[in-house]
Amino acid sequence: MSGVLDHDVDLYSDQAAPHRLNDLSCAHDRKSMFDRDGFLVIGKAISIERTQAAIQAVDDLIDGMVPDFRGVQFEPGHGDKSELKSDARRRAVRKLMRFVDFDPRLHELAYDTDLLAVVSLLMDGQQPHLFQDMALLKPPGGSEKPWHQDMAYFNVPIDTPVIGVWIALEDANVDNGALRMQPGSHLLGPMEHFKRRDWQICDTQIDRGRDLAVPLPAGGALIWHGLTQHGSPINRSDQRRCALQFHYRPASTQETTSEERMAIYGGDVRGAEC
Ligand SMILES: O=C(O)CCC(=O)C(=O)O
């Protein structure tokens, strides 16, 4: 659950990450940077035309143009969602879930061969399998996504090289909720998570002031390791910040259980303080 609750101002820094690769082809000789930092920033991952087509696809799904699609989630508040007119509805949506089989424009981005080649490289040559797709819209006033590790959400063995790919469809900047990353934090291993403002790392466990913001132009991408600590603050601007997020794991991965996952990540389960 995500709420409208505010967060400490110094929980997220505005200092921008220093390294940005031009395009996906540049990632091929930057695996050592990924292994060190736990993420790579790509200035231009997809063309303007494909970016605009993807935004249109997202807005079509929000507008109900695909009748069988049920994956729309709203920000808290906004009253009766069925009463919202198109523009207000687009500005009230928090996320879309599981859309790749409902729109070919989004499907082709998730299975883009240049992107999958980079993902495979970061998995040491294993074959990537897409197992989660989301659009994260962060409208004006949209909620924080507190600090977390994606691995705390997935029932996979702890050493699985899960790779997250986040593609900005609209410009992301420090005011509208660009992602924040803790460089090198994947090397610290799994962190206990707690149900607080969301399923998250305890605020007191965050190394404040060490994190880097990742502003991106539309069409840019951020690619990270499943253990890299990351989050995004509330959108304090009047601009929406729409992004696609895909998660890949090796095709050979054997699923574990929620109990096994909670034994590793479940802070409350173990009676830990937060
Ligand atoms: O897009 C965002 O603001 C947060 C995305 C994220 O960190 C996640 O869903 O794992």
Condensed to tens digits (0 to 9), the pLDDT of residues 77-103 reads 766 777 788 888 999 999 999 999 999
* Winning range, highest mean pLDDT, from 16-20, 72-76, 88-92, 129-133: 129-133
- Closest by CA to 243, choosing from 138, 140, 129, 93, is 138
Whole-number Å distance, alpha carbon 154 to ligand 1 midpoint, is 14
Instruction: Print burial letters for 35-66: b (CB count within 10 Å at least 16), e (below 16).
Output: eebbbbbbebbbeeebbebbbebbbbbbeeee
Ligand 1 atom having least distance to the Cα of 136: 1
Across 100-117, average pLDDT? 98
214 has pLDDT over 50: yes
Across 24-39, average pLDDT? 97
- pLDDT for res 80: 73
Q: Edge-to-edge, what's the strand order for the sheet holding 230-232?
A: 145-148, 230-232, 179-181, 212-214
- Closest by CA to 241, choosing from 86, 55, 74, 89, is 55
Instruction: Print burial letters for 207-216: b (CB count within 10 Å at least 16), e (below 16).
Output: eeeebbbbbb
Whole-number Å distance, alpha carbon 164 to ligand 1 midpoint, is 10
Which tens digits make up the pLDDT trace of 135-163?
A: 999 999 999 999 999 999 999 999 999 99
Among 1, 230, 234, residue to substitute to test ligand 1 (most atoms within 8 Å of Cβ): 230
- pLDDT for res 5: 59
Ligand 1 atom having least distance to the Cα of 150: 10
* Assigned CATH class of 12-140+160-189+205-256: mainly beta
- Closest by CA to 139, choosing from 1, 44, 12, 4, is 4
- Residue 259 carries which DSSP code? H
- pLDDT for res 201: 98
- For tokens 């990270």, the residue is 224
- Residue 143 carries which DSSP code? P
Atom 3, ligand 1: which residue's CA is nearest? Answer: 232
Atom 10, ligand 1: which residue's CA is nearest? Answer: 150
CA separation, residue 215 to residues 44, 90, 157, 179 (Å): 12, 22, 32, 7
- pLDDT for res 3: 43
Across 154-177, average pLDDT? 98
Per-residue pLDDT band for 1 (boundaries 50, 70, 90) equals: very low
Among 166, 181, 214, 222, residue to substitute to test ligand 1 (most atoms within 8 Å of Cβ): 166
CA distance 165 to 115: 9
- pLDDT for res 48: 98
Question: Ligand 1 site: residues with CB under 6 angstroms?
Answer: 136, 138, 145, 150, 177, 179, 230, 232, 243, 245
Secondary structure (3-state) at 119: helix
The average confidence (pLDDT) of the chain is 95
The percentage of the chain sitting over the pLDDT mark of 70, rounded to a whole number, equals 97
- Would you kindly state where each structural domain of the chain is located, as residue ranges? 12-140+160-189+205-256
177 has pLDDT over 70: yes
Among 245, 248, 265, residue to substitute to test ligand 1 (most atoms within 8 Å of Cβ): 245
Whole-number Å distance, alpha carbon 138 to ligand 1 midpoint, is 9
* pTM to 2 decimal places: 0.96
